[in-house]
Amino acid sequence: MTENDPNEVPRGIVWLASYPKSGNTWTRAFLHNLLQLMRGSGRSAQDINSMNEFTTWDLSSERYEKIIGKHPMEAEQSEIAEARLKVQEQIADDCEGLSFVKTHNALVMDRGFPTINFAATSGAIYIVRNPLDVAVSYSHHMSKTLDDTIDAMGSDNVETPVTEKSVYEVYGSWSQHVHSWTRNDHRAIYIMRYEDMKADPRKTFGALASHLLLRPTDEQLDAAIEMSSFEKLQEQEKKEGFREKPKKAKRFFREGRTDQWREVLSPQQFRRIVDDHREQMERFGYWPIDYEAKQAGT
């Protein structure tokens, strides 16, 4: 990550990074609403289908086609991996200040190239969520069985396909993803737990605002949190739909609850997830004593 002169205006990409279904879109909505309120234009909640006003992504096939000289579906994945650095550099150069960019890429090397261009990066927000709940939410999101989802979450180096609209992302396994972004303490990488966002949004989102050197009033912070609540996002999706929802998924904003795994996972499914991810689960406090009863199937 770049080290900025305190007298300079911050520039570059701020990554909004997470494994899928971990609170990335919720965080984006909060930042959109907060920035609008602080600019005096946030009288109503941010339209979830217009969140490219403040945030973007680095997967657009159109961007890669201009660099590679052909559509990514016709290119080798090594060509895409190499072009990724240039795409991210262009995103940073196109913005006068900070550019918030959503990513589900793990922070790894891909075919000899990093998935994240450090030279174009100012910082990152990394959101982590209990993999037991991720499995439930992700299975609905992708319209896959829980067992298939648990398999994918436990498999290293998982990649998404290249499509007409987007290039692939490197997810890896849940543990690989979390470890890649959090293995080293770095002041430019701010880590949030989904569970803390739910339990104490004012404290958690307030700390995020402070980390980003934003100074909202109490009223602005409270309003941004309310406008970005899961219930508000659900209401918008019901009325207007959501462009980022996979075609097979019934809803993008389904439940958003913590500990829903307790009602859904079998003891066998629970044990599989724990066997795959216990080390990272323990690091982030996802191992209370009462899990042992579930593991034993009682």
Per residue in 49-101, pLDDT (tens digit) is 455 555 578 999 999 999 999 999 999 999 999 999 999 999 999 877 778 89
Which of the pair, 66 or 40, is modelled with greater confidence? 66
In a domain, 160, yes or no: yes
Which of the pair, 221 or 96, is modelled with greater confidence? 221
In a domain, 7, yes or no: no
What rounded mean pLDDT belongs to the chain?
84
Task: Judge whether residue 40 has pLDDT over 80.
Answer: no
Give the pair of three-digit tokens for residue 98.
């900070």
Identify the pLDDT of residue 76.
97
Torsion of CA 56, 244, 191, 150, to 10 degrees: -140
In a domain, 4, yes or no: no
Task: Judge whether residue 193 has pLDDT over 90.
Answer: yes
Task: Judge whether residue 288 has pLDDT over 70.
Answer: no
In a domain, 96, yes or no: yes
Closest CA to 56 of 98, 85, 19, 26: 98
Highest mean pLDDT among 22-31, 145-154, 286-295: 145-154
Beta carbons of 122 and 13 less than 8 angstroms apart: yes
Give me the domain span that covers residue 159: 12-295
Mean pLDDT of 159-174: 96
In a domain, 77, yes or no: yes
- pTM for this predicted structure: 0.85
Task: Judge whether residue 205 has pLDDT over 80.
Answer: yes
Identify the pLDDT of residue 185.
84
In a domain, 2, yes or no: no
Identify the pLDDT of residue 29.
84
Beta carbons of 80 and 168 less than 8 angstroms apart: yes
In a domain, 131, yes or no: yes
In a domain, 179, yes or no: yes
Q: How many domains, in total, are found in the chain?
A: 1
Beta carbons of 138 and 149 less than 8 angstroms apart: yes
Q: What is the CATH number of the domain that holds 271?
A: 3.40.50.300
